[in-house]
């Protein structure tokens, strides 16, 4: 029986925003990062953003047509997945890599589980990790920023995290200049994925999400706090080998992951304590992977691993049912 009306006892929670409004707000929050990416990397960035978003929407329509499900592309979730995936790709990504990533995100990351609200993992991160493992050369070929009107040719470069890992492996020490480019890291003057180069643009978007009450402070604060704490301990032990907490915060995809990926309502815990535990786990795993893992960036792997732990976190952090725990203790 197709039940259209669900009746349950009070108390009831009434959301002030529907899915379409939430998705639209997150897309608006990502616009500053998209604009900076297009400014710094030019037409290749615009091509990746447009191709990724369009492919995700078309793939969702095709999947729902084949599965006989109602079309939901108008809610904006497929477009948001496409934008997030594009922001996790290098500017020089070939067209076929973008198409494969978009199809993986929608089909494997979302529709095989039943669509929006049923996926255990963030679809964009599923696609990014699959692409990173399957096509490591294309996924780690970075372009140096060449702002529009500068007349500079496109040249390949390394990300700050990649430089850090290479230098430590070869010499056992960090390059002194690597931790003196803080302003460049804030403004976006460095190599990297489309959405990880400008911390300032991402923070503007995050402020918009807080203002619209789309996200709460629990995951971002615990995520950032654990990164600062653990990376600070290593930095204090040996600053010549381990980078400072500020370097960890401003480089790579940390800010993009903290505010736009880890806070995904579908794949993160629902209780405040659960969110805090989730954020702490993401932060600790990120630092450990960055410092001791095979890849210089650890945000994607950390969030996916904690996505897998979300059901367990929800189970052990759910609030006590009113009238139950105390009565059992007295008995």
Contacting residues for 233 by C-beta, under 8 A, at least 6 apart: none
Dihedral sign, Cα of residue 83, residue 88, residue 89, residue 91: positive
Phi/psi for 110 (5° steps) reads -135, -60
Q: By percentage, how much of the chain surpasses pLDDT 70?
A: 88
Residue 12 has pLDDT above 90, yes or no: no
Contact 248, 254 (CB under 8 A): yes
* pLDDT per residue as tens digits for the range 67-82: 888 888 888 899 999 9
pTM to 2 decimal places: 0.88
Cα Dmax for the chain: 79
Residue 1 has pLDDT above 50, yes or no: no
* pLDDT per residue as tens digits for the range 236-292: 998 888 988 998 998 888 999 999 999 998 899 999 999 999 999 999 999 999 999
**Cβ of 124: how many Cβ atoms within 10 Å?**
31
Q: What is the SS3 assignment for 292?
A: helix
Contact 295, 132 (CB under 8 A): yes
d(CA 203, CA 200): 5
* Between residues 9 and 92, the one the model is more confident about: 92
pLDDT in the model for residue 75:
87
* pLDDT per residue as tens digits for the range 134-191: 999 889 888 777 776 666 666 667 788 887 888 888 887 777 776 667 777 877 777 7
């Amino acid at each position: 029986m197709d039940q259209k009306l669900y009746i349950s006892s009070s108390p009831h929670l009434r959301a002030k925003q529907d899915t379409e409004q939430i998705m639209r707000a997150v897309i608006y929050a990502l616009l500053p990062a998209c604009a900076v990416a297009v400014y710094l990397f030019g037409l290749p960035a615009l091509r990746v953003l447009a191709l990724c978003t369009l492919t995700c929407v078309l793939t969702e329509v095709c999947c729902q047509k084949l599965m006989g499900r109602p079309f939901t592309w108008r809610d904006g979730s497929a477009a948001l997945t496409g934008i997030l995936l594009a922001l996790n790709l290098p500017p020089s990504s070939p067209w076929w890599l973008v198409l494969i990533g978009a199809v993986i995100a929608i089909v494997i990351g979302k529709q095989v589980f039943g669509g929006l609200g049923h996926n255990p993992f963030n679809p964009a991160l599923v696609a990014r990790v699959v692409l990173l493992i399957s096509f490591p050369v294309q996924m780690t070929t970075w372009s140096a920023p060449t702002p529009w009107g500068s007349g500079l040719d496109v040249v390949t470069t390394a990300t700050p995290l990649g430089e850090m890992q290479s230098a430590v492996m070869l010499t056992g020490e960090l390059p002194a200049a690597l931790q003196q480019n803080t302003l460049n890291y804030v403004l976006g003057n460095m190599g990297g994925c489309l959405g990880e180069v400008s911390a300032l643009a991402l923070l503007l978007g995050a402020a918009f999400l807080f203002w619209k009450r789309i996200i709460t402070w629990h995951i971002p604060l615990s995520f950032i706090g654990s990164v600062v704490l653990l990376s600070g301990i290593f930095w204090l032990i040996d600053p010549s080998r381990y980078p400072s907490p500020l370097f960890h915060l401003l480089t790579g995809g940390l800010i993009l992951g903290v505010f736009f990926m880890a806070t995904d309502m579908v794949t993160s815990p629902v209780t405040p304590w659960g969110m805090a535990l989730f954020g702490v786990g993401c932060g600790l795993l990120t630092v450990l992977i960055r410092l001791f893992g095979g890849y210089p960036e650890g945000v994607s792997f950390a969030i996916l691993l904690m996505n897998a732990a979300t059901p367990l976190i929800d189970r052990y952090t759910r609030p006590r049912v009113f009238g139950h725990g105390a009565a059992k203790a007295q008995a």
